[in-house]
Amino acid sequence: MALLNDRPDALVAARLPLVDREQAPLTVRDLYPSDRDASNITKTLAGSPDTLGALAPFLAQVMNPTTLDLATKEVVVLRVSAVNRCAYCVPTHELAARRAGLSPRAVAALASPQPPAAALEGAHRVLARYCDQLVADAGSVDDALLAELRGHFEDHEIVELTVLAGAITMLNYVAGVAAPPLDPWTVAER
pLDDT in tens, 103-129: 999 999 999 988 877 789 999 999 999
Per-residue buried b or exposed e for 20-45, using 16+ beta carbons within 10 Å of the residue's own CB? ebeebeeebbebbeeeeebbbbbbbb
Residue 1 has pLDDT above 70, yes or no: no
Number of neighbours of residue 172 by Cβ within 10 angstroms: 25
- What does the pLDDT read at residue 65? 87
pLDDT (mean) for 43-50: 97
Q: What pLDDT is stored for residue 3 in this prediction?
A: 40
Calculate mean pLDDT across residues 54-81. 96
Tens digit of pLDDT for each residue in 138-152?
Answer: 999 999 999 999 999
pLDDT category of residue 84 using cuts at 50, 70 and 90: very high
Mean pLDDT, the chain, rounded, equals 92
- The whole-number pLDDT of residue 11 equals 53
Quickly count: other Cβ atoms within 10 Å of residue 92's Cβ: 24
Tell me which CATH code domain 70-178 carries. Answer: 1.20.1290.10
Rounded Cα–Cα distance for residues 66 and 147 (Å): 22
* CA triple 168-99-16, angle to 5 deg: 40
pLDDT at residue 30 is higher than 70: yes
Residue 131 clears pLDDT 60, i.e. is over it: yes
